[in-house]
Amino acid sequence: MSSRLRALAFAGLLGLTLGACTSGASSSESSGGRTVTGADGTSVAVPENPSRVVTLSEPTLDGALALGVNVVGTTSGRGQATASGYLADKADGIPIVASVSGPNIEQILALKPDLIVTDSTVTQDDAVTAKLTAIAPTVYVSKNSADWKANFTVLAEVLNKAADGEKVLAGYDSRVTEIKGKLGENADDTVSIVRWGTGQPSLLLKELPPGKILTELGLARPPAQDKDGPGHSQPVSRENLDQLDADWMFFGTLGGATNPTGGSTGTEVGVAASRKMLQDDALKTPGFTALTAYRNDHVIPVDGSAWASAGGPLAAVVILDQLGAAMTAPSA
C-alpha cells in the first residue's frame, strides 16, 4: 500500500473513532457522565467510571495505578524502555504507547481508550492534542512545577476516585509522620539529592517530589539546593562538586532499572544501577571522596526511577521508605 493510501486509511479510521467518541460522550452524559476542567482550563466531558485509561506521563501512570484504575496503555519512564522501574510489578503487561518525547497516535487508537490523561511533564503540542482528543476525552491534570499531591488530587477527581485518592494521601501522610518521628539526631542534618549520568551530575531542587518530601520531613537542603529551579534538574560541573555536599547524599541514576530485553526489573535493580554508577564513575571523579557525605559513609544509592524522575504517590512511598531505611537506622 502506498504511503498516500495508508494516510487516507488512517484518516478514515480516525474519523470513525471520532464519531464513536462523540456518540459515546453523549451517551455518557445522558447516563450520568461528568464534565471536568483540566489544568489548561479546558472543560472535558468524561465517562462516569472510565474503564480503559491511557496515561501519557509517569505521574499519571503512578497515580492511576495507586487508585486501582485499569490502564490499557502508558508511557516509558525516562531513560527506560518500559514503565518506570519502581512500577515494575503493577505496570507489568501494560503496552508502551508513548515516551517523554510524545505519544504514538496509531498505537493509542488501536487500544480504544475511553479516557486519556497526561500532564505538564510531557510537551503539550496542539496538533498532537487534537489527535488525542479525536480518539478519546483527553485531560491535562497539572501545570509545570505543581505540587505532586495537588496533581494527584486532580487526577483522582478526573478518574472519579476522589475518595480513594484521599485515602492514598492519608496513608502517605501517616508514613511521613512515622519517619519524621524516628529521625532522632539526624533531623538536624542537611540532605542532598543527586542524579548522576555518565559525564554529568545534576541536582534535584525543592519543587520536585523528593524535595517536597524532604520539606515535609523537616530536613534542610544545602545552600546550592535550597531553591526551586526552572526545570527537572540542575546540571553541576565536575569542578563544582561542592554543590553536591551535605551531611547525607541520596544518589540515583536513570536507565538502570530496565533489563537488556526491555522488561522493567524493579526498585532493587534501580538501587543496584545507582550503586554501580557510584563505583564506576562518581568515585573516580576528583573531589567526590572529599565530600562530607562520602567521608561520613552517608552516600546512599537509591532507585533513580523513583527519585530522579517524575512520579506520584507510589514513587513518594519508595522515596520515603529508602530515606527512612537510611536515616532512621540506629547509629553504629
pLDDT tens figures, 41-90: 889 999 999 999 999 999 999 999 999 999 999 998 877 788 888 998 89
Residue 99: CB partners within 8 Å, gap ≥ 6? 75, 76
102 or 165: which carries more pLDDT confidence?
Answer: 165
125 is written with which cell numbers? 503540542
Mean pLDDT of the chain: 84
CATH superfamily of 9-160: Nitrogenase molybdenum iron protein domain (3.40.50.1980)
Confidence check: pLDDT of 283 > 90: yes
Residue closest to 69 by CA, chosen among 170, 174, 164: 164
pLDDT given at position 18: 35
Q: Do domains 9-160 and 181-327 have the same CATH topology?
A: yes
Please give the class, per CATH, of domain 181-327: alpha beta
Secondary structure class of 118 (helix, strand, coil): strand
Q: What pLDDT does 25 receive?
A: 33
Tell me the mean pLDDT in the region 139-154.
86
**With contact defined as beta carbons under 8 Å apart, do 208 and 232 qualify?**
yes
Q: 103 or 330, which is more confident? A: 103
Residue 10 has pLDDT above 60, yes or no: no
Task: Specify the pTM.
Answer: 0.85
What is residue 180's three-state secondary structure?
Answer: helix
Q: What integer is the mean pLDDT of 136-164?
A: 90
Instruction: Kindly state the cell numbers that stand for 104.
Output: 504514538
The DSSP symbol for 77 reads P
Q: What is the pLDDT of residue 153?
A: 94
Percent pLDDT > 90 in the chain is 61
**136 pLDDT band (50/70/90 cuts)?**
very high
Do the beta carbons of residue 46 and residue 139 sit within 8 Å? yes
* Cell, residue 195: 542524579
Mean pLDDT confidence for 213-224: 94
Estimate to the nearest angstrom the gap between the alpha carbon of 132 and the chain centroid. Answer: 21
- Is the pLDDT assigned to residue 2 strictly greater than 50? no
Confidence label for 5 from pLDDT (cuts 50, 70 and 90) = very low
Largest CA distance in the chain: 71
- Angle at the Cα of 328 from the Cα atoms of 327 and 331, rounded to 5 degrees: 90
Q: What is the pLDDT of residue 143?
A: 73
Q: Would you give the DSSP letter of residue 331?
A: P
Position 104 pLDDT exceeds 60: yes
User: Which pLDDT score is estimated for 265?
Assistant: 54
Domain residues of the chain, as ranges?
9-160, 181-327
| Section 166-193 average pLDDT | 96
Q: How many CA atoms lie within 13 A of 294 on its CB side?
A: 18
Which of these, 127, 142, 130, 52, lies nearest to 97 by C-alpha position? 52
H or E element at residue 13 = helix 3-30
Distance CA 77, CA 87 (A): 10
